[in-house]
């Protein structure tokens, strides 16, 4: 089973977080495609406008099952070893989900101002040779 992480390959913060996830996961569970790869995204029915709402996580076994924005980060955390303990605790604290969603939206909407923009799009080594292309949906 694989999950596909659609990230902003031009955002310094986004790329740093993807690289951290690559280090933790080593390509075992997650594959990565930048939002700038419109050809691959169109195979999933994802438009540039969809990407404006932030990171997207797609279940490789059931591509219609998706998470976006802070929900995607929560699901990624839940999928990591021992991560569900932290995500469950976060979700159980009153007001944290609301605050997390608002915080995520502020970072998403100001990411280039706050963290800078890369001069070239980051391509993950964990999606080489078109392995993130959709074979069957």
pLDDT of 129 above 60: no
50 within a domain of the structure (yes/no): yes
- Sort strands 3-7 and 30-34 into parallel, antiparallel or unpaired: parallel
Question: Looking at the domain assignment, is residue 132 inside a domain?
Answer: no
Query: What range defines the domain where residue 47 resides?
Result: 3-126
- Residue 135 falls within a domain, yes or no? no
Residue 68 lies in a domain: yes
The total number of residues shown for the chain amounts to 137
Domain count, the chain: 1
Q: For residue 82, what pLDDT is reported?
A: 85
12 lies in a domain? yes
* Domain-located, residue 75: yes
Is 107 part of a structural domain of the chain?
yes
pLDDT band at residue 130 under the 50/70/90 scheme: low
The C-alpha atoms of residue 32 and residue 22 are separated, in whole angstroms, by 9
- Threshold 0.85, pTM exceeds: yes
CA separation for the pair 32, 123 (Å, rounded): 8
Q: What digits encode the pLDDT tens for the residues 34-85?
A: 999 988 899 899 999 999 999 999 999 999 999 999 999 999 999 998 888 9
Containing 88, the helix (H) or strand (E) segment is: helix 83-92
77 domain residue, yes or no: yes
């Amino acid at each position: 089973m694989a999950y596909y992480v659609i990230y902003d390959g031009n955002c310094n913060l986004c790329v740093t977080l993807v690289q951290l996830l690559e280090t933790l996961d080593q390509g075992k569970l997650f594959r990565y495609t930048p939002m700038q790869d419109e050809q691959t995204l169109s195979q999933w029915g994802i438009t540039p406008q969809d990407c404006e709402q932030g990171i997207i996580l797609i279940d490789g076994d059931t591509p219609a099952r998706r998470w976006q924005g802070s929900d995607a980060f929560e699901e990624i955390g839940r999928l990591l070893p021992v991560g569900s303990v932290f995500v469950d605790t976060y979700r159980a604290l009153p007001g944290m989900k609301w605050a997390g969603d608002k915080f995520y939206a502020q970072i998403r909407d100001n990411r280039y101002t706050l963290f800078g923009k890369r001069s070239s799009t980051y391509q993950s080594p964990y999606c080489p040779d078109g392995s993130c292309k959709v074979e069957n949906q």
